[in-house]
Amino acid sequence: MHRTAPSIRLVRSLVGAGIALVSPQPVSAGPQSSATQEPERGEEILVTAPRPILADQPIDGHAATIAVVGRAQMDALNAIDLPSALRRTPGVVISRYNPVGAFGGADGGGVFIRGRGQSRPGADLRTFFDGAPVYMGVFNHPLMDILPIQAAGEIRVRKGPQPHRFGNGVAAVEIVPEDEAMPGIATRLLAAGGAFATARTELLNRGREGPFDWLVGGAFVRSRGHRPDAEGRLANGLVRGRWMAPGGLEARLTWMRAESFALDPGPEGRPDLRNGRYESGVDLLSGAVSRRGEHVGVDVMGYRTVGRGHWLRQAGTTGDTLTDWRGSGLRARLEVTPAPTTSLEAGFDYERIRGETRFRPIGRPGTDFVSPTFAIGMPWAAVSQTVEAAELRLTPSAGIRGHIHSDFPSSAAPFFGLVAAHGPLSARVNWARGVSYPGLDVVVFATAVVPGLGQSWRDLRPERVDHLELGFRYETPTVRLDLAWFDDRGRDRYVFVPPPPPPPRYVNRGGVRISGLEASASVGLGADWSVFAGLTHLRPEPETVPYAPRVALSAGLTGRAGPWTLAIDLQHQGRQRVLAQSRAFGAVNAVMTDGFTLVSGRAGRAFGPFELFVAVENLTDTRYAYRPGYPMPGINAQAGMVVRL
């Protein structure tokens, strides 16, 4: 197939991007340090170079690590959604079909953490927005487009089980909205556009007056796509208000809404295999009350979600599959610190989920599925104690989380940790069990897809993963070196066994073991420049586990010179198997994609409170795909304007 010269395509991208600069559209702030204060109106913006790729990698009191992607890193990556914000995070692999929009009906939009999250339906990866679980409630897996990042202050990636933070999953991604700590009002606006008729508009207003603060934002992103039927659109809004009373009492109310659609462009040259349009949306309402005292802290949050995932015009005679769900729950946490070196924690999480799916095939009668209500209660407790001897600081910890399910057997998830620190050096060991229950998907399939499965789903047990991680770190104000070895042993994966002999049935059989190494280095080069490099090596057993490349490398450079800012990022990903890991027993993921290396960059120039920027993706014009036959764009660009008032 003839390809337009890279230089011509880049010029076309920049010409298209100029549209965004001729009208006063909303824009978002360019890269800046998380420590940079909001400037006064009309004041020159001084941007200190943030760390590239990751803002931080803290180790908590239970020897568990968190990879934090901050606002500055999202802006430097020119990220528009969760996969694009995490695409350079060590240990994370993404999939997508289109530049904008995640095709939620198949493999067109996903995030995978150290090979976890590859099953569909019924993923073991949990996703949260402002502390509340947000995911496809009936088929029990994440949907990327109902997890907006435009108002996010940071994204936290938990790469293994952490029962002291979440349950019913073995890895997690949390989106945390921006927090307003300084008095006054600040507004961030963004307008950008470019290749493939892509247009972005974002607006975020936050402020604090006396005991009240607020966050109001919205975003709209659309693209025609880089080839026929690769169109996508994202739209979302957020309103959050908080009241802070004397004595450490705080109350918070959050409302978030997201709506999107994405098309499946189909394999290249085979328009007959296009799989239609996927529409997703969610409304989230949550309220929280907390109190912080000298020795006691209490947090209680309640939430409700109403969502939909409508897969329209599927290939063949499948027609439409229309799914709606409703979820609600409670998350409570108590922390007692009787001494500065002692922490006692306890909590209780409760979640309910139900929904319905309407199957509307072509040429035959449709069926309607109305689910039962699944509920799960998760009490947990943990303790950590710090002991200092000479210059050595030891923090042992232990805890347990229970899982009490309405329809499946109860289970326990214990965890242990130890951190030893001496000056800038530290070592850690963490062992934790992750538990992941079947979702409503097992009932859907047994009722409406493969009726012969009958009631066999009732005999299932939760999947379990035993996670062991050993790590070493050297950290100073300008240098952070981290090395970790991990081993995840999964068992009791639920699958269905087809005949013979009949009938088909659900069983817990087999599992996946994934071990590997992860190393990263972050170095500050003076006050204005910073570099990052990360390497992940995975060894899955069996080797057919998808989205677990043997080798993945990421690197980044950020800096500023006067009013100019520059961010460059690089990713190398080895060959990997792809497509969702089927729940059919004995199914093997034979489809593979070639490895690739991508380089992207963003350059900006400040003019007082304004910044003009150009972001170029795939600078080397690499031909690559996350699924065979689904080529991703070659070199392309966006240009825009950022305003901070």
**Higher model confidence: residue 574 or residue 25?**
574
Q: Of the candidates 250, 219, 218, 254, which has an alpha carbon nearest to the alpha carbon of residue 239? A: 254
Instruction: State the pairing for strand pair 212-223/232-244.
Output: antiparallel
Residue 49 has a pLDDT of 66
Helix (H, G, I), strand (E, B) or coil at 109: strand
pTM of the model: 0.91
CA distance 16 to 555: 29
Asked if residue 1 is part of any domain, the answer here is: no
Residue 247 has a pLDDT of 83
User: Phi-psi category of 361—alpha, beta or left, where left has phi over 0 and alpha has psi -120 to 50?
Assistant: beta
Q: Which residues of 65-104 are buried (b: 16+ CB within 10 A; e: fewer)?
A: bbbbbbbbbbbbbbbbbbbbbbbbbbbbbbbbbbbbbbbb
Q: Which residue has the tokens 């019924």?
A: 122
Tokens matching residue 176: 């945390």
Answer yes or no: is pLDDT of 13 > 50.
no
CA distance 604 to 30: 8
Asked if residue 580 is part of any domain, the answer here is: yes
Q: Side chain identity at 156, as an amino acid letter?
A: R
Asked if residue 46 is part of any domain, the answer here is: yes
Tokens matching residue 228: 């026929």
Peptide bond into 503 cis (omega under 30): yes
Asked if residue 107 is part of any domain, the answer here is: yes
Q: Of the candidates 417, 337, 439, 518, which has an alpha carbon nearest to the alpha carbon of residue 165? A: 417
Answer yes or no: is pLDDT of 10 > 90.
no
Task: Quickly state the pLDDT bin for 37 (edges 50, 70, 90).
Answer: very low
Instruction: State the pairing for strand pair 374-385/636-644.
Output: unpaired
Task: Quickly state the pLDDT bin for 380 (edges 50, 70, 90).
Answer: very high
Residue 181 has a pLDDT of 67
Q: What is the CATH number of the domain that holds 215?
A: 2.40.170.20
Instruction: State the pairing for strand pair 125-129/198-209.
Output: unpaired
Find how far residue 273's CA is from the centre of its chain: 29
* Cα angle 261, 265, 271; round to 5: 135
Asked if residue 226 is part of any domain, the answer here is: yes
Q: Of the candidates 629, 617, 631, which has an alpha carbon nearest to the alpha carbon of residue 198? A: 617
Asked if residue 203 is part of any domain, the answer here is: yes
Tokens matching residue 240: 């959050």
**Mean pLDDT on 130-139:** 96
Answer yes or no: is pLDDT of 580 > 80.
yes
Region of poorest pLDDT, from 115-124, 183-192, 605-614: 115-124
User: Phi-psi category of 7—alpha, beta or left, where left has phi over 0 and alpha has psi -120 to 50?
Assistant: alpha
Answer yes or no: is pLDDT of 175 > 80.
yes
Residue 36 has a pLDDT of 32
List 396's β-bridge partners, or say none.
Answer: 418
CA distance 284 to 300: 17
Q: Side chain identity at 251, as an amino acid letter?
A: A
CA distance 119 to 115: 10
Q: Of the candidates 72, 30, 14, 27, which has an alpha carbon nearest to the alpha carbon of residue 201? A: 27
User: pLDDT tens, 519-559?
Assistant: 999 999 988 999 999 999 999 999 999 999 999 999 999 99
Please report the beta strands in 163-318, taking only residues with DSSP state E, as ranges in sequence order: 171-177, 184-194, 198-209, 212-223, 232-244, 249-263, 277-292, 296-314
Task: Quickly state the pLDDT bin for 642 (edges 50, 70, 90).
Answer: very high
Q: Which residues, 6+ apart, have CB-to-CB distance to 278 below 8 Å?
A: 103, 104, 105, 108, 261, 262, 263, 264, 309, 310, 311, 312
Domain hosting residue 255, numbered range: 6-644
User: pLDDT tens, 478-493?
Assistant: 999 999 999 999 999 9
Q: Side chain identity at 492, as an amino acid letter?
A: D
Please report the beta strands in 444-584, taking only residues with DSSP state E, as ranges in sequence order: 463-475, 479-491, 494-497, 505-508, 513-525, 529-541, 551-561, 564-573, 576-577
CA distance 165 to 163: 5
**Higher model confidence: residue 182 or residue 47?**
182
Q: Which residues, 6+ apart, have CB-to-CB distance to 562 below 8 Å?
A: none
Residue 46 has a pLDDT of 38
Count up the domains in the chain and report the number: 1
Burial class (CB in 10 A: 0-12, 13-18, 19+), 543: exposed
